[in-house]
C-alpha cells in the first residue's frame, strides 16, 4: 500500500494511524518501530526529536489548525538544525520558544514530493551509527523537499534565542 504522506510502499495492513498526520497504517507502524528503537536505547534518544520532525514534515496532512501548527514547528526545527547549523541540543532547548510562534504559522501547501527517503530508510539501519546517519539523511531529504517554503520558515525563525544570521 502506498502511503499518502511519504509515497513509500508499505505492506497492506489494517491498523491505527494518526489523527492529522496522514499516513498508511504500514507507514505508521514502521514509524512506531523506529520510535520504539529510539526509546529503548539512550544513545539514540539524542536524535529522537529529529525523527519526529522528519516524519511529521513528510506527512503534513491537510489544512487544519493542528496540521498547520505541526508543520510549522517541525519545519522550524529542521531549518535551525540543517540550515542554521544549530547543535541538536540547542534546537531541542528552543522547542518551547518555537512552540510560542507555531500558532502564527500559516498553512504551507505541501510540495508534490516530500523527500526521497522515508522512515523505511531508518528502519533498515542496523546499529547506532547507521541509525543516526539514516535519520540525518532522511531529515535532509525532507527539508530539501520543502525548498519552496524555506524563506517563509526562515522568517518564522528570525530572532529565535538571539540568533543572528551566520551564528551557529
Condensed to tens digits (0 to 9), the pLDDT of residues 60-114 reads 999 999 999 999 999 999 999 999 999 998 998 887 888 787 778 899 999 999 9
Within-domain flag for 19? no
- CA–CA gap between residue 4 and residue 63 (Å, rounded): 15
How many Cβ atoms are within 10 Å of 106's Cβ, its own excluded?
A: 10
Q: Is the pLDDT of residue 2 over 80?
A: yes
Predicted pLDDT at 75: 96
Segment 136-144 mean pLDDT: 98
Within-domain flag for 116? yes
Within-domain flag for 65? yes
Predicted pLDDT at 20: 79
Within-domain flag for 20? no
Predicted pLDDT at 130: 97
How many Cβ atoms are within 10 Å of 27's Cβ, its own excluded?
A: 30
Segment 129-136 mean pLDDT: 97
* Count of structural domains, the chain: 1
Within-domain flag for 112? yes
Domain extent, residue 139, equals: 25-162
Q: Is the pLDDT of residue 52 over 80?
A: yes
Q: Is the pLDDT of residue 161 over 90?
A: no
Enumerate residues 6+ apart whose C-beta is below 8 A from 131.
37, 38, 44, 47, 122, 125
Within-domain flag for 10? no
Within-domain flag for 107? yes
13 or 141: which carries more pLDDT confidence? 141
CA atoms within 13 A on the CB side of 60: 26
- CA–CA gap between residue 72 and residue 6 (Å, rounded): 18
Segment 134-145 mean pLDDT: 98
Segment 120-141 mean pLDDT: 97
| SS3 assignment, position 116 | coil
Within-domain flag for 2? no
Amino acid at each position: 500500500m502506498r502511503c499518502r504522506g511519504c509515497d513509500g510502499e508499505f505492506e497492506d495492513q489494517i491498523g491505527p494511524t494518526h489523527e492529522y498526520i496522514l499516513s498508511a497504517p504500514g507507514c505508521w507502524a514502521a514509524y512506531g518501530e523506529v520510535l520504539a528503537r529510539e526509546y529503548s536505547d539512550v544513545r539514540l534518544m539524542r536524535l529522537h526529536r529529529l525523527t519526529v520532525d522528519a516524519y511529521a514534515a513528510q506527512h503534513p496532512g491537510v489544512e487544519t489548525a493542528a496540521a498547520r501548527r505541526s508543520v510549522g514547528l517541525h519545519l522550524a526545527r529542521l531549518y535551525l538544525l540543517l540550515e542554521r547549523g544549530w547543535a541538536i541540543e540547542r534546537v531541542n532547548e528552543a522547542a518551547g520558544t518555537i512552540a510560542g510562534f507555531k500558532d502564527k504559522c500559516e498553512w504551507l501547501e505541501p510540495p508534490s514530493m516530500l523527500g526521497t527517503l522515508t522512515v523505511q530508510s531508518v528502519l533498515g539501519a542496523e546499529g547506532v551509527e547507521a541509525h543516526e546517519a539514516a535519520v540525518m539523511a532522511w531529515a535532509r531529504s525532507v527539508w530539501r523537499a520543502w525548498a519552496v517554503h524555506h524563506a517563509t520558515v526562515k522568517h518564522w525563525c528570525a530572532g529565535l534565542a538571539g540568533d543572528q544570521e551566520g551564528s551557529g
